[in-house]
């Protein structure tokens, strides 16, 4: 299987978590799992799962810490005091979640030989999750002169997700302009939508379009037409 997703879940004994608690919590930690998942190199294989869920439970339910069903790997870690994570500071919350994820990754590695071959990579992705980076949406378009190319990206940071269009020199691939389209809280963009699916050059303007060619945004690069 091709491994492509890591996620984290809670079971705090109180049943379904109130939105007032759960939404701020996810906003604090989503960038960690999103940053990890979006930087997994393509075509890294595992034996048992394409997605790994690491869960922290107040009491154990699984017979073993790891199980896999239909390509979903599940690691259950037990922490009777897990509900206290909602009272932790943002920094404490992040460190606790990263600790759970690290433990979960090692538990999964004990069960999956191919996944275990990349433990150094998993450690690196987790330790660098707080460094901002650009996730390429693979929406791009060359200028008719072939001198420049524009790319739609999402800049992932611990505080927000920024949706940008980069203008690059076609030969050197150096970014010469960054145009911000919008900023959202740290929630994975495929749930809320990025709002456009095409880019088009109109002389020196870059235009963002929906699938049915409705204009979403336009900006002037100032570059020669």
Tokens standing for residue 57: 């439970």
Asked whether the predicted pLDDT for residue 133 surpasses 90, the reply is yes
Which residue spans within 46-159 are E strands per DSSP? 51-57, 66-69, 72-78, 133-142, 148-156
Asked, for residue 148, whether it belongs to a domain, the answer is: yes
Statement to judge: residues 57 and 157 lie in one domain:
no
Residues 6+ apart with CB under 8 A from 72: 49, 50, 51, 53
Query: Are both 27 and 113 inside the same structural domain?
Result: yes
Same domain? For 51 and 114 the reply is yes
151 in the same domain as 44? no
Query: 184 and 92, same structural domain?
Result: no
Nearest-angstrom CA–CA distance, 161 and 163: 7
Last residue of a domain, one of 127, 158, 176: 127
Q: Looking at residue 23, what is its pLDDT?
A: 87
Q: Which of 85, 106, 127 is the last residue of a domain?
A: 127
Residue 225 lies in a domain: no
Q: Are residues 64 and 170 in the same domain?
A: no
Q: 10 Å Cβ neighbour count for 59?
A: 11
Per-residue pLDDT of 4-49, as tens digits, reads: 999 999 988 766 677 888 889 999 999 999 999 999 999 999 999 9
Residue 184, H or E segment: strand 175-184
State which residues form the domain around 151. 133-220
Kindly report the pTM of this predicted structure. Answer: 0.89
Helix (H) or strand (E) holding 23: helix 19-38
Q: Do 114 and 205 have their domain in common?
A: no
Residues 123, 140 share a domain:
no
Give the number of other CB atoms < 10 A from CB of residue 122. Answer: 23
118 in the same domain as 13: yes
Q: How many domains does the chain have?
A: 2
The domain boundary, picked from 94, 127, 160, lies at 127
**Judgement on whether residues 62 and 91 belong to the same structural domain of the protein:** yes
Mean pLDDT of the 153-165 span: 95
137 and 99 housed in the same domain: no
């Amino acid at each position: 299987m091709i491994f492509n997703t890591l996620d984290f879940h809670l079971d705090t004994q109180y049943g379904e978590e109130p939105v007032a608690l759960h939404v701020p919590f996810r906003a604090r930690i989503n960038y960690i799992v999103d940053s990890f998942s979006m930087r997994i190199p393509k075509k890294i294989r595992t034996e048992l799962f394409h997605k790994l869920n690491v869960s922290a439970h107040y009491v154990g339910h699984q017979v073993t810490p790891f199980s896999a069903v239909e390509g979903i790997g599940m690691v259950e870690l037990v922490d009777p005091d897990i509900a206290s994570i909602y009272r932790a500071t943002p920094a404490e919350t992040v460190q606790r979640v990263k600790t759970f994820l690290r433990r979960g990754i090692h538990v999964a590695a004990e069960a999956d030989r191919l996944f275990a071959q990349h433990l150094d990579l998993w450690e690196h992705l987790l330790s660098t999750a707080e460094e901002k980076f650009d996730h390429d949406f693979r929406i791009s378009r060359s200028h008719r002169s072939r001198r420049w190319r524009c790319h739609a990206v999402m800049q992932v940071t611990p505080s927000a997700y920024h949706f940008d269009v980069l203008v690059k020199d076609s030969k050197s691939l150096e970014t010469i302009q960054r145009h911000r389209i919008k900023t959202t809280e740290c929630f994975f963009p495929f749930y809320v939508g990025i709002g456009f699916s095409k880019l088009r050059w109109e002389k020196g303007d870059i235009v963002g379009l929906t699938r049915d060619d409705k204009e979403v945004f336009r900006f002037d690069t100032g570059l020669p037409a």
